[in-house]
Amino acid sequence: MSDSQKHLLLVEDESLLRQAIAEQLGDRGYQVEQADSGEAALARLADFAFDIIVTDLRLPGIDGSAVVEAAVERYPHIVAIVVTGYGTVKDAVEAIKRGAWDFVSKPFQIDELLHVLDSALEQRRLKSENAYLRAQLEERYRFEGIIGKSQPMTRLFQLLETVAPTHSTILISGETGTGKEVVARAIHHNSGRRAHRFVALNCSAIPETLLEAELFGHVRGAFTGAVGNRQGRLEQAHKGTLFLDEVGTMSAALQMKLLRVLQEREFERVGDSHTIKVDVRVIAATNSDLGRLVADGQFREDLFYRLNVIPVQLPPLRDRKEDIPLLVQHFLEKFAAERRSDVAAKPDVAAKSDVVQAFRPAVKSDVAQAFRPAMPLTVSQEAMRRLMAYQWPGNVRQLENAVERAVAFTAGRTQIDVTDLPIEIQHAQEPALSSAVALPEDGLDLDVFVANIERELIERSLERTGGNKGQAAKLLNLKRTTLVEKLKRLQK
């Protein structure tokens, strides 16, 4: 797929008209994906960063104006064109208010639509827009610094809002880089313990011989180097929250002592016999399968159940790729602000040097540049497609590093392009909009082939909706009863 091709989503419920427009646009060099309803369009927008969306205004279910609004909210650089047979001034104004670039009335000639598209694309190329996806970063897509609007994150936010005010022990599971400590801090700051300390301890980062003293504290003379009494993390977190990261790496002896803390809410410092009572909420985290470690005899079963009172599973970034634009914008703003601060700080450092003093005019230029209204950094749609196509084994942490690198490589430009991304992301394979079917020499069984495609689409829709048949039917533009019948037939 050529990067020079413009990716266009065509939304039209009249199949013959939709197919005719798609073919003519395809002949003009556009890569066209079709959708026959507003619901289908939103599903495709969640998976792909289109350059253009052309949508009928009157659609079954979600109408074209709502589709435009959702498209522009997710991708502010997208060109949205509304096509309708109800071409009134009121419709046009409403569509423009929702983010459409222009309005075309039926019936129209394809050249008229092409002229509107060319004009809109040229305006987009010449015009620097406001900060990319600013509207998407409203508080309703956040939970104390956690960002996302995908279904997995929506469910996570609902769970966190429910469990944060409780005193229950929580076990957070997730791959490296998914933000387990960020979630733990969010829980603490939304609990009744927020006025007290949040204390974090990475169990895998401290040698086993020192981990016990770090957790429980020690008294003078408890071991070589213990020159005085010292509070452990448990005492420091009294009345607050103790976060134990990578708890699965604890030794068996330390697991037993932690179990006692959870059961009795008391412990002794290393080298001391005095029992200390503690009121602390424990939040543990692991990127290991603790259930498997229990089965293998490497982790205490009773401790596992004590920690796993409320399990919280963090989804990997590859399973919520529609959140990538939100996260990218968040990191863009963070690193762009840091870059402006660095530029503004340079003159203060330079003023202390006699050598640099000779170049004062250049320094003043830097100062002036730093205080001019800064053009917001944006990401090209091609670069965004690469970011959304990549699998992100390092999850959100890896994405943050990639954005930081890209910001550094812009060198004063206002848009991040594919070449600014790490090489492995540059080479990420874009998801195909439609798959070409190779016809075997000896033919194929069309009924079986179509049934397999139908099965896969139904399974994907159910996976996306968490098994909700009603919502899955909407994604497939089916009645719920029709979907249920298809499921019964496919299960035979």
Instruction: Note the pLDDT tens digit of each residue in 413-428.
Output: 889 999 999 999 998 8
Q: What CATH number is attached to the domain comprising 470? A: 1.10.10.60
**Are residues 308 and 329 both part of a single domain?**
no
Give domain status of residue 143, yes or no: no
Among residues 398, 426, 454, the one where a domain terminates is 426
2 or 75, greater pLDDT: 75
Last residue of a domain, one of 263, 292, 314: 314
Which pLDDT value is given to residue 233? Answer: 94
Asked, for residue 14, whether it belongs to a domain, the answer is yes
Q: Are residues 30 and 83 in the same domain?
A: yes
Residues 6+ apart with CB under 8 A from 335: 403, 404, 407, 408
Residues 301 and 328 in one domain: no
**Residue that finishes a domain, picked among 295, 314, 333:** 314
Look at residue 441 in the predicted model and tell me its pLDDT. 63
Query: What pLDDT sits at residue 472?
Result: 83
Same domain flag for 21 and 70: yes
In the predicted structure, residue 342 carries a pLDDT above the cut 50:
yes
The CATH number of residue 395's host domain is 1.10.8.60
pTM, rounded to two decimals: 0.62
pLDDT of residue 99: 82
337: in domain = yes
Contacts 24+ apart (CB under 8 A), 331-337: 331/399, 331/400, 331/403, 331/404, 332/131, 332/132, 332/377, 332/378, 332/379, 332/403, 332/407, 332/416, 333/131, 333/137, 335/403, 335/404, 335/407, 335/408, 336/374, 336/376, 336/377, 336/407
Sign of the CA dihedral with 82 first, then 86, 92, and 97 last:
negative
145 belongs to a structural domain: no
pLDDT tens-digit profile of 303-333? Answer: 999 999 999 999 999 999 889 999 999 899 8
Tell whether the model's pLDDT for residue 462 goes beyond 60.
yes
The total of structural domains in the chain comes to 4
Specify whether 214 is located in the same domain as 335. Answer: no
Q: 379 is in which domain, residue-wise? A: 324-426
Determine, yes or no, domain membership for 441. Answer: no
332 and 305 within one domain? no
Mean pLDDT lowest among 99-103, 223-227, 475-479: 223-227
**Residue 462: strand, helix, or coil:** helix
Whether 15 and 114 share a structural domain? yes
Residues 164 and 297 in one domain: yes
Q: What is the DSSP letter of 270?
A: B
Q: Which residue's entry shows tokens 């305006």?
A: 123
The whole-angstrom separation of Cα 254 and Cα 492 is: 52
Is the residue at 247 inside a domain?
yes
Q: Is 182's pLDDT higher than 90?
A: yes
In this structure, the answer to whether residues 166 and 195 fall within a common structural domain is yes
CATH number, domain of 107, equals 3.40.50.2300
Write down the pLDDT at residue 430.
Answer: 57
CATH number at residue 305: 3.40.50.300
- For residue 206, is it within any domain? yes
The predicted structure's pLDDT at residue 156: 93
Q: Please tell me whether residues 330 and 309 are part of one structural domain.
A: no
pLDDT of residue 468: 80
Q: Give a yes or no: residue 296 inside a domain.
A: yes
Q: Same structural domain for residues 121 and 228?
A: no
Residues 166 and 300 in one domain: yes
Mean pLDDT of the chain: 82
